[in-house]
Amino acid sequence: MLKSVLSVLGVYKLYEEWLWRQVRAGVPPEHIAIILDGNRRWASEQALNPWLGHKKGAETVEQLLDWCLKLNVKFVTLYTFSTENFTRNSAEIEEIMRIAQEKFLKLLTDERIHKNKVHVKVIGRTNLLPADLQKRIADVERATANYTNQFLNFAFAYGGRAEIVDAARVIAEKVKAGEIEPEDIQESTFEKYLYTSHMAKQEPDLIIRTSGEERLSGFLLWQSAYSELAFLDVYWPDFRFIDLLRAIRTFQNRKRRYGT
């Protein structure tokens, strides 16, 4: 049994190294966005409480940071909790918020964040989150506000339609105040008021969704117009470096023509 396990691990390692060489030889996506799906199903299939799936998923996010730093991906946006998720069981939501607070506290002193100058931002209707979590998020954002080497975004209490509505509302208020003329509103104007406006590269080159589902579920509706999509049949807690490499290799093999 042990020999069999070691053999599988050996093959896995060789395949990972082969993929790594291929990906490294190509141009990596500048902005990767990931829909972290499958935490609850992962837990259910192992007869565990749902929040243990979320806990394991949060641990995978920590590993992902290392992988993206290794690959030199400048912008990473993670869909972690949607506005629709507030309709879930209250006990599950409470546990998700607890895990999030714990992880943001850890990010505050994470040497990888400060050594690599990673700008951490939460995008979404954060006013819907518990006050203590809002404070923790504000602490992390304040501590990393001047970092510009890489960007790590958490879409939390996020909805793509909500983002567009919020941007439209701000623009409408500015029109009402006489700060913007209606005829001057362009796509570039609208993008200035999206949640992702703090980044030079708002549009993801590649969007990955785990768990086998093949839809965006409202994620980055405006920004994803020309994104390449990769749907992986693996639950987020089981997501591995090899899965990320495979998705990037697929992206690199695609011909991006942008309508030409």
User: pLDDT, tens digit, for every residue of 74-107?
Assistant: 999 999 999 999 999 999 999 999 999 999 999 9
Catalytic residue among 49, 66, 85, 243: 85
pTM of the model: 0.93
At residue 60, φ and ψ (nearest 5 deg) are -65, -35
Closest CA to 23 of 227, 208, 205, 247: 247
Q: How many helices (H) and strands (E) does the chain have?
A: 9, 6
Residue 12 within any structural domain of the chain: no
Task: Provide the mean pLDDT of the chain.
Answer: 93
Residue 171 within any structural domain of the chain: no
- The tally of domains found in the chain comes to 1
> Hey, is 77 helix, strand or coil?
strand
Residue 173 within any structural domain of the chain: no
Closest CA to 103 of 150, 54, 144, 70: 54
Residue 97 within any structural domain of the chain: yes
pLDDT per position as a tens digit, 191-235: 999 999 999 999 999 999 999 999 999 999 999 999 999 999 999
Domain carrying residue 105? 29-159+204-250
Measure the CA–CA gap between 95 and 46, rounded to whole angstroms: 19
pLDDT of residue 98: 96
Closest CA to 251 of 29, 24, 21, 18: 29
Region 47-73 average pLDDT:
94
pLDDT of residue 147: 98
pLDDT of residue 12: 81
Q: Is 76 left (phi over 0), alpha (psi -120 to 50) or beta?
A: beta
pLDDT at 123 over 70: yes
Question: Which residues, 6+ apart, have CB-to-CB distance to 85 below 8 Å?
Answer: 93, 96
Q: If you count them, how many residues does the chain have?
A: 260
pLDDT at 7 over 90: no
pLDDT at 5 over 60: no
Residue 189 within any structural domain of the chain: no
Measure the CA–CA gap between 58 and 36, rounded to whole angstroms: 10
Catalytic residue among 37, 110, 205, 243: 37
Answer yes or no: are the C-beta atoms of 129 and 155 closer than 8 Å.
Answer: no
Q: Alpha helix (H) ranges present in the chain?
A: 2-25, 39-45, 50-71, 90-108, 111-115, 131-144, 160-176, 187-191, 241-253
Strands, sheet with 228-231, edge to edge from the N-terminal-most edge strand = 118-123, 150-158, 75-82, 31-35, 206-209, 228-231
pLDDT per position as a tens digit, 127-146: 999 999 999 999 999 999 99
pLDDT per position as a tens digit, 150-186: 999 999 999 999 999 999 999 999 999 999 999 999 9
In the residue annotation, 85 being an active-site residue is answered as yes
Residue 2 pLDDT grade (very low, low, confident, very high; cuts 50, 70, 90) = very low
pLDDT per position as a tens digit, 14-27: 999 999 999 999 98
pLDDT at 239 over 90: yes
Residue 257 within any structural domain of the chain: no
CATH number at residue 98: 3.40.1180.10
pLDDT of residue 255: 73
Task: State how far the alpha carbon of 90 is from the alpha carbons of 39, 85, 87, 97, 164, in Å.
Answer: 17, 10, 8, 11, 27
In the residue annotation, 166 being an active-site residue is answered as no
